[in-house]
Structure 1
Amino acid sequence: MTTKQTSRHILSGHVAIVTGAGTGIGRATAVAFAEAGAHVLGVGRREEPLKETAALHPPIEIIAVDVCADGAPAEIVHTAVTRWGHLDHLVNNAGATAVMPLADTDRQVVLDLLALHVVAPSLLAHEALPHLRQTSGTIINLSSTYGHRPMAGGAHYAATKAAVEQLTRSWALELAPEGIRVNAVAPGPTRTDVMLHAGLSPEAANDMYAYERERIPTHRIARAEEMAHWVLRLAEPAGRHATGQVITVDGGLELI
């Protein structure tokens, strides 16, 4: 059976917040949760891509806000809880890639990566916590295969993703007695527009994908829907004994 067939209605009545829902893995995750029966609040900085996501499945509602902005975490959680009365899942997906060798280190880029990958998810989880306690909910963070393997020319990106994995494990240990599960999905190279947002041209992005494809044991670049599949698996009730896990989905890249 297909993922869509096996996932139908498993999250019926659940409420999920998905950040970075305008494109890529975030969009695919918002759609996967909606197809599974959840009410979804898709969060992103740009309204037009969010509208495109919402158009893919009616239960998806959107809020255009920068997750790093002052007051944004409280606004996001308040919007979801006011709309649907409770909160079951927080998916911290919003992210960015920065190709930045040590010789080119830029202070603001380092601070921006920390703000987006570490500070914003922490503040969102803090705001969501009282509501997740009531529902024995889940937090699912998006890391990267480079959160636990080196990335030449991208050390600060990799370091912030390593921080995401430690947040995941530490929160899981802290919150397990309260019935809240915390896990992460660590994608390998996945075809999205993240490389373009990092400043690469379409040609350079394609060259990078071709380079990665040759290194990956399965010799393929993943689709965003494949990552959404694993996020959904970690959210569903059948996975309630899994917490503190980082599920790497990278075609075996971390093995080499």
Structure 2
Amino acid sequence: MSSASPAPVMLVTGGARRVGAAIVRRLHGEGARVAVHCRHSRDEAEALAAELNARRPGSVAVLQADLLDTAVLPALVSAVVARFGRLDGLVNNASSFFPTPMGRMDEAAWTDLVGSNLKAPLFLSQAAAPHLLATRGSIVNIVDVHAERPLHGYALYCAAKAGLLGLTRALAVELGPAVRVNGVAPGAIEWPDDGQFPPAAQDAVVRHTLLGRVGEPDDVARTVVFLLCNAPYITGQIIAVDGGRSAHL
């Protein structure tokens, strides 16, 4: 990123932990100022901000909000702009992920999974759009390889991510030519920390991954940074970061 112009400002939802934190670290390392959104992980977000602000004072801020409450999303964007003076990029990373077997799906699961994976990215992007148009900024949505190749037992999650895939392309149409909108579709990057995938299930996934291993959060982060900062002629695209798994699912 050029030092001749103001450091760009990026908002990363769900940026306190796991892949989100890797995205925050990578963007910060590239010279960006970063707004780290969190919902419950305030302590982790504050620790990450303290770590990065020690390297570059005032470059990271923490903002807490429940993205399922769409009424607060304009205020979340306004808080970023009030803190840093502009907005150049939005990473819609925050996501719920849990199984919804047939016969056991309910309205609460719908509200959570569709709300976090589709509704919130839509309304947050809408709130951010005027600021991104002003800076000729960019949006990156974190999709999933299972948006196109559903995972058994996770129908609602897969449907929500399929919606996000479609939304990514639709927003590229709506916001072009000034704002680029792309998606990153991770495969096996980090296993859920709640035991959803026992060792046998993990081994089965790795066996179907062409590179024969699980990826790292930074694999996603590097791709996000590329799309946000180094891909001026790419929009409306979904890049799979999955070790080749989707090539033969």
Output the TM-score relative to the length of structure 2.
0.91
Structure 1 residues 213, 143: closer, same or farther in 2, change over 3 A? same
Which of 24, 34, 55 in structure 2 is aligned with 1:30?
24
Establish whether residue 55 from structure 1 lines up as the match of residue 32 from structure 2. no
Aligned residue pairs total 242
> Which residue in the other structure is 2:195 paired with?
200
Give the structure 2 partner of residue 187 of structure 1. Answer: 186
Are positions 1:41 and 2:35 aligned together?
Answer: yes
Match in the other structure for 1:89: 89
Shift of 1:56: 3.4
**C-alpha separation in 1, matches of 2:2 and 2:137:** 19
- The partner residue of 1:252 within 241, 244, 247 is 244
| Structure 2: gaps spanning 5 or more residues | 54-58
Residues 131, 220 of structure 1: CA spacing in aligned structure 2 closer, same or farther, 3 A cutoff? same
> Residue deviations 1:135-181, cap 9 Å, x none?
0110110000001112111111111111111001011012113x100
Give the letter aligned to residue 19 of structure 2.
I
Could you tell me how far 1:55 is from its partner in structure 2?
3.1
* 1:119 Cα offset (Å): 1.0
Q: How do 1:117-156 and structure 2 match up within 5 A?
A: 117-156=117-156
- Work out whether 1:213 is the aligned partner of 2:206: yes
Q: Within 2, Cα distance between the matches of 1:10 and 1:169?
A: 32
**CA separation of 1:175 and 1:18: change in aligned 2, threshold 3 A:** same
C-alpha distance in structure 1 between counterparts of 2:22 and 2:6, whole Å: 18
Native 8 Å contact 2:96 2:112 kept in 1: no
Structure 1 equivalent of residue 167 of structure 2: 167
- Do the aligned residues in 1 keep the contact of 2:27 with 2:34 (CA within 8 Å)? yes
Q: Is 2:226 the counterpart of 1:226?
A: no
1:11 Cα offset (Å) = 9.1
| Residue in structure 1 matched with residue 56 of structure 2 by the alignment | none
Q: Percent identity?
A: 30
Q: Which ranges of 4 or more aligned residues in structure 1 deviate by more than 2 Å? A: 7-12, 69-72, 204-211
Task: Determine the C-alpha separation between the residues in 2 that align with 1:107 and 1:221.
Answer: 33
Distance 1:171 1:214, change over 3 A: same
Match of 1:4 in 2: none
Q: CA RMSD in A?
A: 1.9
Is the alpha carbon distance of 1:233 and 1:12 closer, same or farther for their aligned partners in structure 2, counting shifts above 3 Å? farther
Q: CA deviation at 1:213?
A: 1.2
Deviation at 1:10, TM superposition (A): 10
Unaligned runs of 5+ residues in structure 1 are: 1-6
When normalised by structure 1's length, the TM-score is 0.89
- Mean Cα deviation higher: 71-80 or 18-27: 71-80
Task: Tell me by how many angstroms 1:207 deviates.
Answer: 4.1
Q: CA deviation at 1:12?
A: 5.9
